[in-house]
Amino acid sequence: MSFTDPDRPSRQIGRALPRSASRRLAQGRGRFASDITLPRMVHAAFVRSPHAHAELGAIALDAARAMPGIVGVFDAAAIDPWCTPWVGTLTHLAGLKSAPQYPLARGRVRFHGEPVAMVLATSRAEAEDAAEQITVDYQPLPPVVDALAALAPDAVPIHPELGDNLAFERRIEAGDIAAAMAMADEIITLDFDFARHTGVTLEPRAVVADWNEGEQRLTVHAGTQVPHMLQDIYALHFGLAAHQVRVLAPDVGGSFGIKIHIYPDEMAAIAASRALRRPVRFVADRLESFIGDIHARGHQVRAQIGVTRAGDITFFDVDDLTGIGPYSAYPRTSAVEANQVINLIGGPYAVANYRARARVVFQTKAMMSQYRAVGHPIATTVTEALVDAAARRIGVDPVTLRRRNLIADDAYPCQSASGMRFEALSHHGCLEKLHAMMGYDALRAEQAALRARGVRRGIGIASFIEITNPGAAFYGVGGAHISAQEGATIRLDAAGHVVLQAGVTEQGQGTETILAQIAAEALGLAPEQVLVRLGDTDSTPYGGGTWASRGAGVGGEAAWQAAHALRGQLLTLAASLLQADPSRLDLRNGQITDDDGTARMALADLARIAHFRPDTLPPGIVPELAATRHHVPRDYPFAFTNGVQGSLVEIDTETGFITLLRHWVVEDCGTIINPLLVDEQIRGGVVQGLGAALFEACRYDAEGQMTNATMADYLVPMAAEMPDIEIGHVCTPTAETALGAKGAGEAGTAAAAAAVLNAVNDALAPDAALLTALPLTPARVLAALGVIG
């Protein structure tokens, strides 16, 4: 089956269709977890630690209990009988250690914002009033803020029973570094500093938990990407069987990886529903989001590249250090980010010599774990800034150096020095397309002309690889109950339309729409004749949900296989009625047709007969009219994709302001199911990457207090500062599936910051200024220029 032929009958895959949910959402008819109200529902508010590190003394709850509207007050002692602790380790991350984490802090607090006590009241305002009446006796301990200081021999261990603050360490050594160093004519060393940032989902985290004592069932409406994972974890930690737990994911107001983790406040609120036997809603406010959501990145990297005068890159050598807060996040751990950083560095290049170390350390800050494009922006920025620095050092154009060193498009399958296996990538195809789209040579000429007039323009390029369609290698092999396979169930209704239920989920990517397109193409229907239902563990087939760019590639393939199986059933049934050969029949435009397209019978009639007049079917025929199929990638642990981004910036050397003039992306996600949705995924991802490049940072003071935990102080990209983004595609389908689709959700975020950093350093090259710390604030630009100290 080829999805490239635009004239094939029943073509739906590849069409730029708007999303079915858009009209409803644009009319304000979204139904988010934070909108859900249930009878007798109470609201949770938390007392959170004002200290980064302290011994917990007495917690006085009685004054809160006496406040109006209060139905429950909990500290650790009161909540622990309802919920067992969890530990964020997985066996395939050898040596990773962490400590048990509880819904409410026990004995010690270890980050500013850690939940200490919880109040349930008939309104959130009353719950907050009562929470203010709770007094907690804290004995402050020394904060451990800086990641490097956390490793010092005299550093206070955050979990004394773990011995030290090193959570995880991994080394890679490939090829012959000593020989590669000797071969290099130039060795360049750069020290990078990447700020912590966070997801800032516009809808904060939200859960509505409903324990039904009569039914002995727990229903949780959660703003989440991963309902089946939550079902498994809730069952485990609340002492229930999985079938006693139903998780529903309604509309989710942004997630980006933030809403795939287990959070203590959510666990406490759900446990309270069981304890109080009534529904509980917890919606984080914005302060709670900033100090309680998973933070991302936060790396210090020392990195080296070696290059010959002729322009051959001889090695990469990196040392990554990242602080993850006091616990490794559950259940995905906080080691995956750093692990991914060193897996990906140097990945686009044909360079066999590689040495890397990653260290992951505990500190008394908010927890750090997976967020969109896990590890990719760090790896891409380090790699691409090194490549540009090498190009500058030997005096060649950065595009020339990439042309010489990127893995050749005909060299696949192959693997990177870190052992990543590539099925088929298209670095050169993407680079040449980008070069043409940018009008690169003209931009260089314009840059030189403007430079003569004192205008500082810079051009940056960043090639990247992206991990998509993960199989069980990501989590399952380490013991996590996170499904790598996706299921899809499709059934014909009595009117000849279909209902498709799937384990992947929707947070605005367009999952529902692409699944409808896929099923519609297989069945010769219009996409609106496919009703897609997601996000309910009671009714959807088991699946891992939507993360790591797997919705289209894994969930889409399951839907394709299920729809194909149903197609086979329908054609067999039709053949028995029409006395035809099923292999000579087709489904087109809602009709059973001959293979030349001549209509024989409406699918609606077939459905009618099967449902209402089965007595007229030939003897022995029992129509099934439904199929379930599952898919999991098995040939490769991940389907790597690739691409390249370009950035054009202008810098005001008096104010340090960076203006993003233009941005380009060329990427290769294989078969494109819906180009409209793919392009907007990429644009949205680019802008999140631009946020990290220019604005976003969770700022902490020396005491471990987050000092910019409001939307006014934590800057995110806004409409006025963002450029238009031009997107191009190269298409290399994966041969592992019938669809050939790979992921695209993280491509934008992976390389946007790298392209901007390279553009800024390109602009400032005549000033011999070099930046290696993100975000690229005006103050940092001025400091690099020597204007301020």
Closest to 503 measured CA to CA, from 516, 481, 487: 487
Min CB(256)–another protein separation in Å: 7
C-alpha 687/C-alpha 426 separation (Å) is 24
**Could you say whether residue 29 binds another protein (CB under 8 A)?**
yes
Among 111, 192, 238, 256, binds another protein (CB under 8 A): 256
Beta-strand relationship, 725-729 and 658-668: parallel
Phi, psi for 427 (deg, rounded to 5): -60, -45
**Could you say whether residue 35 binds another protein (CB under 8 A)?**
yes
DSSP letters for 749-781: HHHHHHHHHHHHHHHHGGGT----EES--HHHH
Min CB(508)–ligand FES separation in Å: 6
- Give the interface segment with another protein, choosing from 162-170, 449-457, 501-509, 519-527 (CB under 8 A): 501-509
Strand ranges in 495-594 using DSSP code E only, listed in sequence order? 498-502, 530-534, 585-588, 591-594
- Give the interface segment with another protein, choosing from 104-112, 170-178, 317-325, 681-689 (CB under 8 A): 681-689
**Could you say whether residue 30 binds another protein (CB under 8 A)?**
yes
Min CB(711)–ligand FES separation in Å: 7
By rule CB under 8 A, what count of residues binds another protein?
Answer: 57
Contact 101, 82 (CB under 8 A): no
Q: List, in order, residues 6 or more apart from 188 with CB less than 8 Å away.
A: 304, 305, 307, 386, 389, 390, 393
**Could you say whether residue 718 binds another protein (CB under 8 A)?**
yes
Q: Which tokens hold the place of 77? A: 């002692």
Min CB(371)–another protein separation in Å: 12
CA 704, distance to chain mean position in Å, is 27
Between 109 and 504, whose beta carbon lies closer to another protein? 504
Min CB(374)–ligand FES separation in Å: 20
Q: Is the dihedral of CA 200, 203, 204, 209 positive or negative?
A: negative
Which DSSP state fits 711?
T
How many Å is the maximal CA-CA distance in the chain?
89
**Could you say whether residue 684 binds another protein (CB under 8 A)?**
yes
Min CB(723)–another protein separation in Å: 8
Q: Which tokens hold the place of 65? A: 């209990």
- Give the interface segment with another protein, choosing from 603-611, 650-658, 682-690, 767-775 (CB under 8 A): 682-690
**Could you say whether residue 462 binds another protein (CB under 8 A)?**
no
Cβ count near 623 (within 10 Å): 18
How many residues belong to the chain? 789
Q: Label each residue of 385-451 as H, E or C.
A: HHHHHHHHHHCCCHHHHHHHHECCCCCCCEECCCCCEECCCCHHHHHHHHHHHHCHHHHHHHHHHHH
- Give the interface segment with another protein, choosing from 173-181, 246-254, 360-368, 731-739 (CB under 8 A): 246-254
Min CB(665)–another protein separation in Å: 11
Min CB(282)–ligand FES separation in Å: 18
Among 61, 90, 373, 725, binds another protein (CB under 8 A): 725
Read off the amino acid at residue 564. Answer: H
Min CB(222)–another protein separation in Å: 15
**Could you say whether residue 57 binds another protein (CB under 8 A)?**
no
Residue the block writes with tokens 């983004």: 725
Between 62 and 285, whose beta carbon lies closer to another protein? 285
Partner that binds at residue 31, options ligand FES, another protein, none, CB closer than 5 to 8 Å by kind = another protein
Among 21, 61, 155, 220, binds another protein (CB under 8 A): 21
Q: Collapse the DSSP code of 208 into the 3-class scheme (helix H, G, I; strand E, B; otherwise coil) and give the result.
A: strand
Min CB(44)–ligand FES separation in Å: 20
Contacts 24+ apart (CB under 8 A), 618-621: 618/576, 618/577, 621/573, 621/576
**Could you say whether residue 172 binds another protein (CB under 8 A)?**
no
**Could you say whether residue 64 binds another protein (CB under 8 A)?**
no
Min CB(372)–ligand FES separation in Å: 13
Point out which residues bind ligand FES (CB under 6 A). 202, 254, 508
Partner that binds at residue 256, options ligand FES, another protein, none, CB closer than 5 to 8 Å by kind = another protein
**Could you say whether residue 699 binds another protein (CB under 8 A)?**
no
Beta-strand relationship, 414-415 and 421-422: antiparallel
Among 264, 510, 541, 670, binds another protein (CB under 8 A): 510
Residue nearest to ligand FES (CB): 202
Cβ count near 779 (within 10 Å): 11
**Could you say whether residue 661 binds another protein (CB under 8 A)?**
no
* Residue 626 bridge partners (DSSP): 491
Phi, psi for 492 (deg, rounded to 5): -85, 135
Partner that binds at residue 765, options another protein, ligand FES, none, CB closer than 5 to 8 Å by kind = none
C-alpha 430/C-alpha 432 separation (Å) is 6
Partner that binds at residue 125, options ligand FES, another protein, none, CB closer than 5 to 8 Å by kind = another protein
Cβ count near 177 (within 10 Å): 18
Between 29 and 584, whose beta carbon lies closer to ligand FES? 29
Among 3, 14, 19, 257, binds another protein (CB under 8 A): 19
- Give the interface segment with another protein, choosing from 24-32, 104-112, 237-245, 781-789 (CB under 8 A): 24-32
Residues that bind another protein (CB under 8 A): 18-19, 21-23, 25-32, 34-35, 37, 125, 199-204, 251-256, 285-286, 507-510, 676-677, 680-681, 683-688, 710-712, 716-720, 722, 724-725, 748
